[in-house]
Amino acid sequence: MKITLAPRPDGRLLLTAAVDTTAAPRALIEAFTDPAIVARWWMAELTCDPVPGGEYVARFPSLDQTMRGEIVLIAEDRLEFSWAWDHQPEQPTYLVTVTAAEGTVTVTHGPYADTPEEREEAESHRAGWEFFLPRLLAEIEG
């Protein structure tokens, strides 16, 4: 797995995680939108209307926290959804983009302002993807 935090042309930071996989692109996207699959690898209760503008809500019972957003784009090989924590309304809304290709899945997350607070958030999200992406692959690769 390769994870980077790099500046975009506008100076904001983008977290990118890429990992090799044998899973089909469609299966990777379904792993983010099918509530039964999400429950197994992300340990979240997902409510998802997989159409642009549809809700994307993941409740994490072990944390007693909920992230809420919406589907921005969905295709057989790409998913974009926004999210923010319900319990932190002052925090920014982030965008997660999952790009699935034969042999690789890439997750981008952000953007983050180049401030100590936002860098700390990015590092927290990095740790999350380092933990959850292997679980995702174990779930769908068998």
Q: pLDDT tens-digit profile of 13-41?
A: 999 999 999 999 999 999 999 999 999 99
- We report the CATH number of the domain holding residue 105 as 3.30.530.20
Domain count within the chain: 1
Full residue range of the structural domain in which residue 63 is found: 2-141
Closest CA to 98 of 120, 127, 71: 71
> What's the CA gap between 38 and 48, in Å, rounded?
11
> What's the CA gap between 73 and 71, in Å, rounded?
6
Average pLDDT of span 6-10: 95
The answer to whether the CB of 49 falls within 8 A of the CB of 71 is yes
Sign of CA dihedral 39, 96, 73, 91: positive
Q: pLDDT tens-digit profile of 82-128?
A: 999 999 988 899 999 999 998 999 999 999 999 999 999 999 999 99
Average pLDDT of span 49-73: 97
CA 39-132-96 angle, 5° bins:
90
